[in-house]
Amino acid sequence: MKKIVIIGAGSWGTALGLVLASKDYDVTLWEHNKERAEEVQNSRENKRYLPGIKLPYNMHITSESEDLLNGVKYVIFSVPSQSLREVISRFSPQITEDMILVNTAKGIEVSTGMTLSEVMKDEIKGKYHKNIVVLCGPTHAEEVSIGLPTTIVAAGLKEKAMEIQELFNSKNFRVYMNEDIIGVEIGAAVKNCLAIGAGIADGMGYGDNTKAALITRGIAEMTRFGKALGADERTFSGLTGIGDLIVTCASKHSRNRHVGECLGKGQKIDEILSEMTMVAEGVPTVKAVHNAAKKLNISMPIVEAIYNIIYKNANAKDMVEALMGRELKVEFY
């Protein structure tokens, strides 16, 4: 039986654990909070994040970190993007050359502007860098946990990505492969920012036309940004670009869309975040993307407007004005 450790027992880590447990693997979820780990282990349910979903016998929860990775080949990190460096650093002494390290968080580190695979590389030995795989796509934990058909992308060196593809593939969870790890990470990060924009439009009472424009023009911004960082622009037409953007902008499950909707209704960002139990990755990521775009001189008016609304208390109407009030010129998408 394959042994797998998932670092992070939030909704997504738990949902991925359920996918792997359904294939009869031995899955251990690591939860940093001891009391919460014990509660989930004893009740066989992650009531905080996925209430009503029972955990199978081959899925275990622990808060113990010492020697946790002994004998484990697949280590999956499912923690908030801004916490990834600290967590990787904590477990790096246990990492060995035969492990495959999978990151499932979506974002860019605010303090450095690094993508999350770059953060991982910064905290582990160079000879392990080839073993990093990113797992991203249009997925919500609430749907994955009950077995609804889902597609996702494993990105990394071909051999390693194929191994993760095989590890996760199941009847209702199909994994595609992409070697453009930068493009996959950029798409996954920027779409969270744009989903806040879609939520702002919802909160202000705009309709489907506005949201379609935001998604389409958002893809243009995402592609410009990604290409400047070395990504393949074709990636943004796939699951981790337009696919992930559609699901995040439209879904009732989207935390980032929820944040935007509340902003559009006039709530302040601190108040919104204080009422949430889960992390809206787009909030810190929009700062990182905005800063990087400015540094690279890339035009991202929608992202800039969202940044100003969150961090400079600008009027929510500014976002729609950024979409509609731009200087007109010939563009093909």
* Positions marked active-site: 191
φ and ψ of 157, to 5 deg:
-60, 140
Using alpha carbons, select from 125, 150, 145 the residue that is nearest to residue 135: 150
Burial class from Cβ neighbours inside 10 Å (0-12, 13-18, 19+) for residue 262 reads: buried
Q: Is the dihedral of CA 19, 20, 26, 30 positive or negative?
A: negative
Residue 55 carries which DSSP code? Answer: P
Q: Are 108 and 81 in contact (CB under 8 A)?
A: yes
Give CA angle at 11 (10, 12), nearest 5°.
95
Collapsing DSSP to helix, strand or coil, 75 comes out as: strand
Q: How far is CA 155 from CA 101, 207, 253, in A?
A: 12, 35, 24
- Token pair of 159, please? 């051999």
Q: Is the dihedral of CA 49, 50, 52, 55 positive or negative?
A: negative
